[in-house]
Amino acid sequence: MAGTTPGTPRVLRAMNDRAALELLLAHGPLSRGRIGALTGLSKPTASQLLARLEDAGLVVATGTSRGRPGPGARLYSLNPAVAHVAGVDVTADRVRAAVADLTGRTVGAFEVPVSGRRSPGSAVRQVVAAVDGAAGDAGLSRDGLHRVVIGTPGAFDPRTGRLRYASHLPGWHSPALQEELAAALPMPLEYENDVNLAAVAEQRLGAARGHDDFVLLWNEEGLGAAVVLGGRLHRGHTGGAGEVGFLPVPGVPLMRRVARTGGGGFQELAGAAAVVRTARELGLTPPPGPVREAAAALLARAAGHTGPDGRADGGPDGPGGELLRRTATALATGLASVVAVLDPGLVVLSGGVLTAGGEALRTLVQRELAELAAPRPRLVLGAVTGHPVLSGALESALAATRDEVFDTSRRPADPRRLPDPRRSRGGAGQ
């Protein structure tokens, strides 16, 4: 901690403050006695700590405990209004934003549809409109946000500032885009790959909790992966780690200059379009709508979830069962190369197309992978449903913001003034 010496009363107070705040975040309302017991502090010291945090506006009294004879103990909670963060999930057809308070509760959301040709500056306008809409839904203005994390397909090259690996996202490739967004949004902005954010959500809230080494395979807008090693995201030299859609695999023609064509490889073999194509070959009729939605509906129906007509495509021996088997083989073909290099203990299957196949598809992929790769990672379905990219963006923003807010050694002399979030701008991180 800058400007302090380890072991001084100020540092010890800051350490105790943070421990108490983390406990309130994890457990909810706690009494003075309970905080003292969990931290090992005496009751007088715990009382002084809570008085200090209450004066600073970081905690609030929320009532008294009940259930035992005598007067109830006063309960304290983390003040959710201390800071608010926003997450943004960008796709080719919409920009979705959400706002969460310091406890992680989502308090506002807004979506901006994207259609037609994009004019210069449209990406900035869409993000700002989504953030303003979500903030307004939470009863805030954009100035009331402490940090914003923006998730996009591909990744911004840290050397050039340009978005790479996302040619299907028009309007997002200007070298000045980050500067224009920074000028429009007056708070720290961070950028992260959308699949990486889905992995953050699974690591903190879902199927990968407790795992420091895992791979998340994603299939929705496109086929991609996130790699977590030693508890941290591995992004690669240009931010392109996990762009497995370009991975050369047997079963499809070898394509050159894939970054420009945007096709071929693992994406061609096992992406949403491949699921729809295989279904047609088997005599199944895809429902109307976007390819990803059609692929998800076909796999859900094949896995036994009946469609509008009540049919399940003939059970495991019918065309639906064959669709699941061929899809599993295609997925395992690409995964075999990934696990051979990384040897993860866990693989999370996420994204609407993969999770639609449910346990039936997961079991088949696990079986096929055991035949194709020497490592034997455990495969699980993603547990964060709804909007995993947006959930990951909020979790990433909250982690960085809590680090700042919970560090009371950095607070100004006036304890009621919170740190100004506009003093620093950092890159995305876990």
The confidence score (pLDDT) of residue 12 equals: 87
- Which of these, 263, 243, 238, 147, lies nearest to 196 by C-alpha position? 243
pLDDT digits over 239-252, tens only?
889 999 989 999 88
In the CATH hierarchy, which fold is given to the domain comprising 9-78? Arc Repressor Mutant, subunit A (1.10.10)
- DSSP per-residue string spanning 195-248: HHHHHHHHHHHSTTTT-SSEEEEEESSSEEEEEEETTEE---TTS-TT-GGG--
| Averaged pLDDT for residues 52-70 | 78
The confidence score (pLDDT) of residue 212 equals: 94
The confidence score (pLDDT) of residue 416 equals: 38
| Averaged pLDDT for residues 66-95 | 84
- Which of these, 139, 146, 140, 143, lies nearest to 87 by C-alpha position? 146
Domain boundaries, the chain: 9-78, 82-197+388-423, 210-381
Is the pLDDT assigned to residue 6 strictly greater than 80?
Answer: no
φ/ψ of 337, rounded to 5, equals -70, -40
| Averaged pLDDT for residues 286-311 | 82
* Amino acid residing at 25: L
The confidence score (pLDDT) of residue 166 equals: 80
The confidence score (pLDDT) of residue 121 equals: 80
pLDDT digits over 198-208, tens only?
999 999 999 99
Is the pLDDT assigned to residue 257 strictly greater than 70?
Answer: yes
The confidence score (pLDDT) of residue 69 equals: 46
Is the pLDDT assigned to residue 262 strictly greater than 90?
Answer: no
Q: Are strands 163-164 and 155-156 parallel, antiparallel or unpaired?
A: antiparallel
The confidence score (pLDDT) of residue 413 equals: 42
Question: What distance in Å separates the CA atoms of residue 172 and residue 179, rounded to the nearest whole number?
Answer: 12
- The CATH class, in words, for 82-197+388-423 is alpha beta
The confidence score (pLDDT) of residue 163 equals: 87
Is the pLDDT assigned to residue 269 strictly greater than 70?
Answer: yes
CB atoms within 10 A of CB 281: 12
Please compute Rg for the chain using Cα positions.
24
pLDDT digits over 100-151, tens only?
999 999 999 999 998 766 666 889 999 999 999 999 999 999 999 999 999 9
Q: Would you place residue 182 in the very low, low, confident or very high pLDDT band (cuts 50, 70, 90)?
A: very high
Question: What distance in Å separates the CA atoms of residue 202 and residue 208, rounded to the nearest whole number?
Answer: 5
Q: Do domains 9-78 and 82-197+388-423 have the same CATH topology?
A: no
pTM summary value: 0.88
Average pLDDT, whole number, for the chain? 87
- Which of these, 166, 161, 162, lies nearest to 224 by C-alpha position? 166
CA-based end-to-end distance of the chain: 20
Percentages helix, strand, coil for the chain, rounded to the nearest 5?
45, 15, 40
Domain 210-381, CATH: 3.30.420.40
CB atoms within 10 A of CB 195: 32
For residue 83, count CB atoms less than 10 angstroms from its CB and return exposed for 0-12, middle for 13-18, buried for 19 or more. buried
* Amino acid residing at 391: S
Of 112-126, 216-230, 340-354, 356-370, the one with minimum mean pLDDT is 112-126
The confidence score (pLDDT) of residue 326 equals: 97
What is the percent of the chain where pLDDT is above 70?
Answer: 87
Q: Would you place residue 429 in the very low, low, confident or very high pLDDT band (cuts 50, 70, 90)?
A: very low
Q: Would you place residue 426 in the very low, low, confident or very high pLDDT band (cuts 50, 70, 90)?
A: very low
Q: Would you place residue 164 in the very low, low, confident or very high pLDDT band (cuts 50, 70, 90)?
A: confident
Is the pLDDT assigned to residue 174 strictly greater than 50?
Answer: yes
Of 91-95, 184-188, 253-257, 361-365, the one with minimum mean pLDDT is 253-257
| Averaged pLDDT for residues 364-373 | 96
| Averaged pLDDT for residues 366-388 | 95
The helix (H) or strand (E) run that includes residue 17 is: helix 9-27
Question: What distance in Å separates the CA atoms of residue 154 and residue 241, rounded to the nearest whole number?
Answer: 10
Is the pLDDT assigned to residue 68 strictly greater than 60?
Answer: no
Q: Would you place residue 428 in the very low, low, confident or very high pLDDT band (cuts 50, 70, 90)?
A: very low
